[in-house]
Structure formats: structure tokens, C-alpha cells
Chains A and B, each alone.
Chain A
Amino acid sequence: MANRSCHPGATSQIGRAIAVAALQIALAVPATAQTARPASPETSPDAQGDGERKWFVMEDRPSLRLGDALRLDLTSKIGLTVRAAPDQDTDAEMEQRRIGVDGRLFDVVDFQIERELGDDEQPWRDVFVELRKWRAVRVRGGRFKVPFGQERLTSISDLDFVHRSIASEALTPGRDTGVELNGRILARTVTYMAGVFQHDGDVSRGGTDAPGGRTVAARVVSTPFAGASSRALQRIEVGMSMTTGDVPEGLNGLRARTSDQYEAVAPVYVFGTRLRFGADAAFTNGPLSVKGEFLQTRDERKRQGLRDEDLPDVVARGWYVSATSFVLGRLKSNGSAPRTPLLGGGIGAIQLAARVESLEFGSHAPGVEALRNPRAANLLPNDIRALTAGVNWFPVRFVKLQLNVIREHVEDPERRPDPSRPWGTTGLFRVQFAL
């Protein structure tokens, strides 16, 4: 039932990725040196032009300018992850090789184009345009992340861990093509996002890989104590998300994989409506940050029984709580670089991270024998629980190194990578360059 995904050719990609990374570092070092100096970009030796109108600026990233009419920031993200587990070959994979452009037109239209190199199936990541005339109402159209799940909406290069939580990976929709309204209201204490999307996202495909139907999604994030006198309270952020849409008939239930890519939860037959709900909270104070999220997905199973009968909904629930703390050095307020970089007299910034998480799949059919088959009225529940401990090192701007050790438990012995081992251990190491 279960299988282990692999990444053929990943090792052969490493050479090319290192070349791209070297190019990035070549670009990054002058920029790092530049940040060590208080010079403004406009007077930087990298700036080229006639003094009044610069057409190339090297700030956080290379930027092309056409007066006030157009700004084009070049972006790039490269992530190499090495995975090691007992009794398995160590596996290296280029998880990210992205290039892109962030732009702004006449200070009214934002746009973003990002492409994953080496992904032949779906190379485009974000490709959207956003009308940003008013802060309270902005309109975005194109391909971008469906607004569901705090962690899913965080770029992988900004995650506190090498990978997202198992629940986020399994239950959130990812990117799709659609239209969204978003904005900040009530004195900027509430941010909202609401959109209609063609399908159900590109990461929530089931066994047949058939896309879901039209999906409506909404998310609200609030800082409920923004007016409080305590700065700690002011930084508490809570969010709620939901999606609803049609899920096509077939083996299209959601799946879940462990950190070593073992499919511990295989798709089941579904048909009807998929309803998601999410709640999250985050708190940051000084070097400490705490985040938590609860996610639930409910899929209908109309006429999916052996004799065409309706089956009880399949329900997946997951949560995580994570905490990080800088123990050495800090990042700058915009989070882009360490305050004392490795090449600037310090060693960068070092952060410790820990996460506890759980994901459970099942259905509610009292009095019916719980079974593993994908048309079972009472699906035999399967829980995945995991503990992650990690260290993040930010030596210089653009560069992050992460080390995670994950202890995972799959409840059902028959759906474990190794049935004889209740707990599995995986080590992940990631080197990331993000421009």
C-alpha cells in the first residue's frame, strides 16, 4: 500500500546547483560588504547610471530600475538537503533551484514571477499581478498560494525547520490559479485574504493526481492585542483559515508522508466536498518565537462504498507547536541578515528550534470494523507523531544552514517504513542560498 518516493537524478543536479550557488555567493559577497558600510545604495559603487537615475541597484538583491515607472528585483533560492536515516542510503536532493523577478509598476501594480529549474511537470511557482492602489483592498490574480495555513504561506527559505510540519504538507492546498482580494483593515490590526481558485492547489493531489474542483478560500489574521501597552502582547498574532471545494470522484483522498518520504497514509476513495479549517497563533518576543497551528480536512465520500453506498467523511486532523530562540547573535529587524556576519567580525546568528506535531487520519463509523482498505466505512486510524530538534545557523546574508533530527512514530505497524520499529529517526541537513 505504501511506497517510498525517491528523487532520481538528484545527485547529478548537485554540481549544477553548486555552480549557481557560487554565482550567488559572488553576487552576495559584494552586497555583504556593502551592508557592512553605511553607504546608501544610491552612492554605492555598484550603482550605475548618471547619478540621478540609476538603472541598476544592488541592495538586498540585484534590482533594475526605470525611474519611478518600473522596479525589477531579481530573486533566487537554492536549497540542498541531505537526508540520512539508519539502514538507508544517505540521500542528497536539490529541493529548490528557483529564479524569479519581483517587480512594481508605477507604484500601483506589483508582480512576481518565479520558476523552479528542473521541475518539468510544474515549473512555475508564483506568477501573479496585484493591484495595490488601496491598502484595504488589493486584488491579486494569477498563480499563487491558496490562503490557507500559516506555515504553508511562509516561504520555504524562511522556515524555522528544514521541512514544513507533516500536517502542513498533507493538509494545505499549496498554489493554484485564481483571484484574491486581500488587505489590511481596522487600523492594520486585521489582515484578510479571500479568493476563488480554479482547483484545490498543487500539493493536495491524491492517488489519481486529478485536480480538485473550484475552491473558495479565506484567511484572517489579527493582532488582537495591538493596542495593549505590553510589547509582548502586541506581537501576538492569531489567524483562521478555511477552504471549501469539490473533490473529484476516485482515489483522491489526501496522503501523508513521513520525513523520509514514506507514504504512511495512502489516498482513499472520495467524492463530494472537501472542507478545510485552520487556526494558528504566533508570538515573538526578543530572541524567542513560538508558533502553533491546527489544521483539519474533511472529505465527503458519496457513493464510495463497495455497493455504491455513501461512506462517512474521512477526517484528517493535525497540529504542531514550535519554538525557536537565538542563542548566539541575532538577525536584523527585517530578518534578512545576521547583525554580526561571519565576514564582519562575528560568527553570524545561531538559533535553536524544537517542534512537536501530530497528524491523524480516520473516519467515524461506530460499530463497524476498522479496516485499511480505501473504501472502508470505518478507516483504520493512523497517527503520525514527530519530535524535531534543530539548529539554524545564519553565517552571512543570503546563507542559512539547518540541521534537524526528527523522531517519528507511525501508529499502524503495517504502514511504518519498518514495521518492527515504532519510532524512526531521520537526520536532515540543509544549505540554503536565498537572494
Chain B
Amino acid sequence: MRPRTPRFLGSLIAVFLALAALHAQTPPAPRLTPDDLFDPNTVHDIHLTVSPRDWAELKERYRENVYYLAELRWRGEVVSNIGIRSRGRGSRSEAKPGLRLDFNHYASGQQFLGLKSIVLDNLTQDPAMLKERVVMRFFTEMGMPAPRVVNARLYVNDEFAGLYAIVESIDKDFLKRTLNENDGYLYEFTHTDPYGFEYLGSELERYAEFFEPKTHERDSMASLYRPIRELAWAVSESPDSMFVSSTNEYLDVRAFLTYVAVENFLADRDGMLGDWGMNNFYFYRFEGKNVSQILPWDKDSSFWAVDYGIWTNMEANALARRALKEPPLQRVYLEALRRCAELALRQPEPVPGIARRRSVDETPLQPGWLEREISFVYSQIREIAKADEAKPFSTERFEDEMAKVLEFSRARPRYILHETEQR
């Protein structure tokens, strides 16, 4: 009998060579990017490892901004040595803390997918649990820079902690992505008292109470706040003949009115024209310029009512009040509202051979963009929201609010079109 060893060895070598060749031909796994993290087509699984004592303490001290060490796991990517802390204003919660994840808190320069930080919104102020995501998407569709928002199941030490939203931080990375520059002055508007761009006098400290610098923090008060004071002066004190030109030097009034139109279309009670004065926005002054841009933040209070008036709180804001006295600017505002309505009603791209889209004046064949967007997100989060035992409202309340939001998406465009046609 012939020995079989040589044949066996030969087969082994062949298999080995074949595997080696296969390995050599297999392309390396594509590197994950922020686009993957903010992919809206999936609900992400975020795993945090935190010392159990730290997690208990973070919940206990949820009103403080104390950082704790954590490790993040997402789609096989692991980033250690990150700082997490409780975040939010009214949304702070002991049972379900909103979190800020700072990848560079303990190691300057450390990033995750090129990001320095992200926010995990606990969705405690929105029983529908999707307003933030839909509104930010709406801003983006309207051509305005807004943070990306997607949903996630959060697991802390492998225990399900609830349905969260991953929100892109408004920071230098965001500015680079949306405005293609990031060395200007970025401020977070901090609501202390009702304020609407009124002139507060010459003392710069008065403006510092409302605008917290997020870049150039160590610059002089003059560098930080003189342009804001000048804007307030132009808004409140400039002669009528110079109002538009002098204000435009610091803030594009048309862009401001478009921003306000989006918020008002979406019936946001806690935004630029909120019930308690301006709130929930960032303010970015471009590099080497005086002109600034408004950036939206925290839109949990939107979708308030189908018949939310298009002139709500206009009189309370010095800039809106004065701008809308100018007929051309009023037309800008109304036109922006109409564009919002058109976006909300926008039909899907027509498939060849199927009936073409009708005009916005007719009953659409299919649900509009806003309704489709809401339905899509709802289908993603429904079961997770039901399983979220940390949410501060019942599942019935979630369903009721969802129905209300869907109804808003259907009826609001008609209401707006009707209101704007009256003018």
C-alpha cells in the first residue's frame, strides 16, 4: 500500500495557499466614519461600561456636571478612557440621565470616528421620543445647518438603559462639516431671563450672561462680546432707515427669519420665539467677520399645536418685531413658511410610469415628506420605546403623542398655507 502522507501534505499545502490567496484578496474592512454613526436607517446599539458605583453616583448627582470614566462600544469599535456626565436643563433625570460623552476629556486629542464628543439625549421631555430627530432633519432639508440625530438603544454595563437619541455636538467638527470653517466664535445661548436681542447698554458683561463662549474662551471680553453688543444696538437702537443694513452686518436678517419660520412652522414653543424668550440655539460668528449664524439645538418642544399661530411671540422679540415691520422682510418670512409647508407635503420622487406628483394645492396621493419621516422613525423606535422602562411616561402616552405628531404632520401644512395666503 502506498503511503498517503505525501498526498495529505499536498492537500494541506494547497488549502493553506488557497486561504492565503483568499486573505490577500479580501479587502480590509472599511473604516467607520461619523456618517456610519449617524446612519438614520438603523437604530444603533451603544454600549457603555461604567463603574457601577460611578453610574449610581451619576444618577444620584444628575444635576451636576461631574465627569466619570467610561468605555464605549459600538459596532465592534471600542474607545476607552472617555468622560461621561449628566447633561440637559429641564430634561435632567435621575432614572434616565441624559449624557454627554467627551472622548477627549481625559486625553486631549482623543477622538472617536473623528468626533470629540456626542450627546445621548434621554428623550424625557418628548413623549413621542422623535421630535428632536425630525426637527433637525427638517432644518437640514430646508438647507440650514443642523446637528444630525439618530436613535440608539443604550446599554450600560450590558443592561438596557433605554431609548436614546445620538445627537451630534455643536462644536468645531460640526462647524467644519456644515459651514466649512471652524475658527470663528461659537456661543451657546444660555437662557437666564427673557431676552430677544434688545440693547442692554454698553457693559459687555450683560451680554456674557446670555452667550457662553464655546471657542476662544480665553479671548478678551471685547473680542467676545463687542459684536454681539453692536448687533443688539442695531436691532434696538438703529434708525429705521438703517435698521436692515446695520443689522445685516451682524446677522443676516433674511436667514434669521427663515430660521424663525422653520421653528414656527414646527410650532416650537421653546425656540427663538419661545414663550419664555429666546432659547435653544447656538450662535456662530464667522472667522474674521462680524456676521453670525444661528444654529438650532434641543427641539423637544416642537409640534405643539396644528393651529400654532404664525405670529406667535413675534412682538416679544426685538429683532423679529422690527424686521416684520418691513414689508419685504415680512414677505421673506411668509415665503419661508410656505416653503416649509411644501417640504412637509413633498411627495416621494416619482417612479417612472407612475402618476406624476400633484401640486401642493391638491390632496397628495401619498403622505408628505414630514409624515413619511415621522412614520419611518416611529417604525424604528416603537418597540424599543415600549421596552424603555426608564421613560417618564407610559407607553399609552407615547402612542397618543405619536398620533398627535402624525396628525400635526398632515394638518399643519394646510394650516400654514391658509394662513400665509391671507397676507
Contact = CB atoms under 8 A, between A and B. Distances in A.
Interface of A: 1, 249, 269, 304-308, 371-376, 414
A376 B105 CA distance: 14
A374 B105 CA distance: 12
Given A306-B50, A308-B51, A374 B107 contact: no
A371 B81 contact: yes
7 contacts: A306-B69, A306-B70, A306-B71, A307-B49, A373-B81, A373-B106, A376-B81
Given A306-B71, A308-B52, A372-B106, 18 more contacts: A1-B106, A304-B51, A305-B51, A306-B50, A306-B51, A306-B69, A306-B70, A307-B49, A308-B51, A371-B107, A373-B69, A373-B81, A373-B83, A373-B106, A374-B69, A375-B51, A375-B69, A376-B81
B379 interface: no
A3 to B, nearest CB: 13
Interface string B63-76: 00000011100000
Contact of B106 (A249, A269, A305, A371): A371
A1 B107 CA distance: 11
A142 to B, nearest CB: 35
A374 B69 CA distance: 8
Interface in B23-78: 49-53, 69-71
Range, interface on chain B: 10 to 19
A305 B83 CA distance: 15
A269 B50 CA distance: 14
B220 interface: no
A259 B52 CA distance: 36
A137 to B, nearest CB: 45
Contacts of A307: 49, 51
B108 interface: yes
Interface of B: 49-53, 69-71, 81, 83, 106-108
A375 B51 CA distance: 9
Nearest to B71: A306
B106 A306 contact: no
B108 to A, nearest CB: 6
B52 to A, nearest CB: 7
Nearest to A304: B51
A416 to B, nearest CB: 12
5 smallest CB-CB distances across A and B, nearest first, come from A373-B106, A373-B69, A375-B69, A372-B106, A371-B81
A371 B105 CA distance: 11
Task: Indicate the member of A1, A269, A375, A376 with the most B CB atoms within 10 Å.
Answer: A375
A374 B71 CA distance: 14
Contacts of A414: 108
Nearest to A413: B108
A76 B81 CA distance: 50
B105 to A, nearest CB: 8
A306 B52 CA distance: 8
A306 B53 CA distance: 10
Task: Indicate the member of A304, A371, A373, A374 with the most B CB atoms within 10 Å.
Answer: A373
Nearest to A374: B69
Contacts of A376: 81
A419 B81 CA distance: 21
Nearest to A372: B106
Contacts of A308: 51-52
Contacts of A374: 69
A372 B52 contact: no
A232 to B, nearest CB: 52
Contacts of A372: 106-107
A351 B78 CA distance: 60
A198 to B, nearest CB: 25
Contacts of B50: 306
Contacts of B51: 269, 304-308, 375
Nearest to A373: B106
Task: Indicate the member of A304, A305, A371 with the most B CB atoms within 10 Å.
Answer: A371
B157 to A, nearest CB: 9
B107 A306 contact: no
Nearest to B50: A306
A373 B107 CA distance: 8
A413 to B, nearest CB: 9
A7 to B, nearest CB: 22
A373 B50 CA distance: 13
Contacts of B71: 306
Contacts of B49: 306-307
Contacts of B83: 373
B165 to A, nearest CB: 25
Nearest to B49: A306
A205 to B, nearest CB: 17
Nearest to A249: B53
A416 B218 CA distance: 16
Contacts of B70: 306
A170 B231 CA distance: 50
B351 to A, nearest CB: 52
A269 B69 CA distance: 11
A376 B106 CA distance: 10
A308 B53 CA distance: 9
A307 B49 CA distance: 8
B193 to A, nearest CB: 25
Contacts of A304: 51
A307 B69 CA distance: 11
Nearest to B82: A373
B354 to A, nearest CB: 56
B317 to A, nearest CB: 37
A308 B50 CA distance: 10
Contacts of A306: 49-51, 69-71
B39 to A, nearest CB: 28
Contacts of A373: 69, 81, 83, 106
B346 to A, nearest CB: 48
Nearest to A375: B69
B411 to A, nearest CB: 50
Contacts of B106: 1, 371-373
Contacts of B108: 414
B403 to A, nearest CB: 43
A305 B70 CA distance: 11
B67 to A, nearest CB: 8
Contacts of A1: 106
Contacts of A375: 51, 69
A134 B315 CA distance: 87
A225 B49 CA distance: 59
A304 B54 CA distance: 10
A304 B51 CA distance: 8
B30 to A, nearest CB: 27
Nearest to B67: A1
A366 to B, nearest CB: 18
Task: Indicate the member of B49, B50, B83, B107 with the most A CB atoms within 10 Å.
Answer: B107
Contacts of A269: 51
A208 to B, nearest CB: 10
Task: Indicate the member of B50, B51, B70, B71 with the most A CB atoms within 10 Å.
Answer: B51
A172 B223 CA distance: 45
Task: Indicate the member of A306, A374, A375 with the most B CB atoms within 10 Å.
Answer: A306
A269 B54 CA distance: 10
A64 B71 CA distance: 66
B204 to A, nearest CB: 18
Contacts of B107: 371-372
B81 to A, nearest CB: 5
A417 to B, nearest CB: 13
A89 to B, nearest CB: 15
Contacts of A305: 51
